[in-house]
Amino acid sequence: MGPVAPSAARRLSECLLLAVIAAFAVWLADDAVRRSPTLENLVMIVPAAILVVALAVGLAVAALRARDGGADRVPASFMLKACVLLLLLVGLVAGFETIGFDTASFLFLLAAPVLLGERRVLPLLAFATLGSAGVVAALRVMLPYDMPTLLL
């Protein structure tokens, strides 16, 4: 099988998005029906789910039938960068409670600008140190919640 044409990849991505939305609607309606098949529980969910599925199917058919899916508006390199940034965010959230808010924030503020093109070491270190220390210190003063930290 040859490489997927850009327009086909875009169509595939749109159909996948529509499938995810429809699956979510069906799952939520099914979950609500299982909990309690009463009017109070279903008055909004079931009609909304039916509409979601109908619209998703219609839009998917339209996307597949479209003669030209359009070239990818976003270069593949950007999509890769966006995915890596999203992973960095996931890592940051995971790091909050494992390595502490301060260290996780520092590492994120160090890695994300590098990903976005910053190569100067001194500005990077200054940004990550001041940014993480400033934000964590300010929130610690303002918030009544416990924020686990490693160093600060």
Partner 1 sequence: MIDFGALGSALQLLGSNAMAWMVVPPGLLIGLVFGCIPGLSVPIAMAIFLPITLYMDFLSAILFLTAIFTGGGFGGSIPAILMNVPGTASAVATTFDGHPMAKQGRQSYALGLALGASCIGTAIGYVLLLLLVSWIADAVLMLGPLEMFAIAVWGLTLIAVLNEGSVAKGVLAGLLGVMMGIIGMSARGDMRGTMGMMALVDGVPKVPALIGLFAASEMFRLMRSEYIVADETKRRPEFGQLLAGARGALLYPVTLIRGSLIGVGIGAVPGVGSAVANLLSYAEEKRRSRTPELFGRGEPRGVVASEAANSSSEGGSMATLLALGIPGGSATAVMLGAFAMHNVTGGPRFISENLDLVYAIILGNLVQVALLAVMGIGFLFIAAGLVRVPVRFLVPGVLLMALLGCFSITGDMMGPITMVACAALGVWLREHDFPVAAVVIGLLLGPAAEAELLRTIQLSGGDPAFILTRPIAMGILLLLLISMLYPLLRRRARIRAAAAAE
Binding site for partner 1 (CB under 8 A): 10, 13-14, 17, 21, 24-25, 27-28, 31-32, 35-36, 38-41, 43-45, 48-49, 51-52, 55-56, 58-59, 74, 78, 81-82, 85-86, 89-90, 92-93, 96-97, 101, 105, 108-109, 112-113, 116-118, 127, 131-132, 135-136, 139, 142-143, 145, 147
Of 5 and 115, the one with the shorter C-beta distance to partner 1 is 115
Structure tokens given for 9:
């990849």
Query: What element of type H or E holds 10?
Result: helix 6-35
- Give CB contacts under 8 A, 24+ apart, made by 28-33: none
Q: Least distance from C-beta 77 to partner 1, angstroms?
A: 11
Contacts of 25 (CB under 8 A, 6+ apart): 48, 49, 52, 53, 56
